[in-house]
Amino acid sequence: MAAPTLDDLRRYAVARTLFNATSLPQAIRRLGFVQADPIRAPARAQDLTLRHRVKDYRAGDLERRYAQLPIEEDCLVNYGFLPREHLALMHPREAASAWDAETRRKAADVLAFVREHGPVHPRLVEQHFAHGRVKNYWGGSSNASTHLLDGMHYRGMLRVKRREGGTRIYEAVTHPPADDSPTARAQRAAALIDLVVRKYAPLPSSSLTYLVRLLGYGAPHLSAQTQTALRLAREKFASCRIDGTTWYWPADENPASRRHAPDDALRLLAPFDPVVWDRRRFELLWNWTYKFEGYTPAPKRQFGYYALPLLLNDRVMGWANVSTHQGQLQPAFGFAGKKPTGPAFRAALDDELQRMTVFLAGRPDPRPHSGVLPLP
């Protein structure tokens, strides 16, 4: 295998994850994990990610079809959607922080309630138990029942059955017991590292270390094993060193292969798309710094509330903030360098905005209705 150049790695990073559009379950299986985010600007991150990889994908398709697909909402390096078979690598999950006796009692009562009533909305749990309010991660106040249900889901007592208006509907679940032998734990840790490398390769060495640390979210009970597996992985994965940075990728892939040829399409990517997720890699490959500022105070934003990276061929050259008004897109663009011009760029941009318009239109509601409009 010829030693890849930085240009090779850039083309490889783009082409390997922007595969030919396929079915929704196949795309999720190939990605291995799709990060979720609740902000809609103009759509949720998971939808913006999948629209480039699923044939005729429309905003909301994942939520509409979730209950019929072999996938789960769960944690890996962060929260999102993953094929059901990956859960066996992390469950039964042992949380890093143990519940006190009172919380365990409340969880047992809620679990018995869910088993008796079937899939439940958090509102029904709160109405029955009246758990009150708790301080949330951001320092504000949250519904204590919702907080408890989140914790039960994380610990594998519940799963997300479906969503209603974006709200998780939970049902009871029991994960099969795992082989807890040292060999089996080491194998699961190695498989988790393989999973994240196949999703985010090529990875700078520091990013690989960071991702393995983030696996402490999905598999905190395997933290010692993942650290050991990381040391072994550095020998197992293919690698090269360019300008002082060591890069890693799966040993059965060749970044210098001519088949890694990006197409001519212009794409507006989700802030968490695999192409741009790793900000260290982004700066090395495209020589400018991109930031997600959705949770940054407005006066401090450089790129905007929900800047979508703008990819053309193998170049991320700028970003767009996209809103809609009366069904019309209202994009605002920024560029890291000189703004591209010429008819080819304008045609590619028009095509992407048209695809975005169709994607955001969603699908007609197939449910019958009375013809009476709901109250605003």
Domains and CATH numbers, the chain: 101-172 (1.10.10)
Give the relative orientation of helices 223-236 and 182-200 as an angle to the nearest 10 degrees: 60
Using the predicted structure, report yes or no on whether residue 217 has a pLDDT greater than 70.
yes
pLDDT tens per residue, range 343-359: 999 999 999 999 999 99
pTM of the predicted model over 0.75? yes
Please count the CA atoms within 13 angstroms of the CA of 263 that sit on its side-chain side. 11
Contact 352, 319 (CB under 8 A): no
Contact 157, 107 (CB under 8 A): yes
pLDDT tens per residue, range 226-272: 999 999 999 999 999 999 999 999 999 999 999 998 898 999 999 99
State the pLDDT confidence band at 183, using cuts at 50, 70 and 90. very high
Q: Could you tell me which residue, 58 or 165, shows the higher pLDDT?
A: 58
Give the relative orientation of helices 182-200 and 205-218 as an angle to the nearest 10 degrees: 120
pLDDT tens per residue, range 164-176: 988 999 999 999 9
C-alpha dist (Å) from residue 281 to 45, 186, 195, 196, 206: 20, 28, 18, 15, 10
**Alpha carbons 345 and 49: distance in angstroms, whole number:** 22
pLDDT at 327: 80
pLDDT tens per residue, range 276-329: 999 999 999 999 999 999 999 999 999 999 999 999 999 999 999 999 988 889
Determine how many CB atoms are found less than 10 A away from the CB of residue 124: 15
pLDDT at 373: 33
Whether omega before 42 lies within 30 degrees of 0, making that bond cis, reads yes
pLDDT at 367: 54
Whether omega before 202 lies within 30 degrees of 0, making that bond cis, reads yes
Q: What is the DSSP string of 297-360?
A: -GGG-SS-TTPEEEEETTEEEEEEEEEEETTEEEEEEEESSSPP-SHHHHHHHHHHHHHHHHHH
pLDDT, the chain, mean: 93
C-alpha dist (Å) from residue 130 to 133, 154, 259: 9, 21, 59
Contact 247, 5 (CB under 8 A): no
pLDDT > 70 fraction of the chain, expressed in percent and rounded? 94
Amino acid (1-letter code) at residue 149:
L
C-alpha dist (Å) from residue 132 to 46, 52, 150, 227, 260: 31, 42, 15, 40, 54
State the pLDDT confidence band at 372, using cuts at 50, 70 and 90. very low
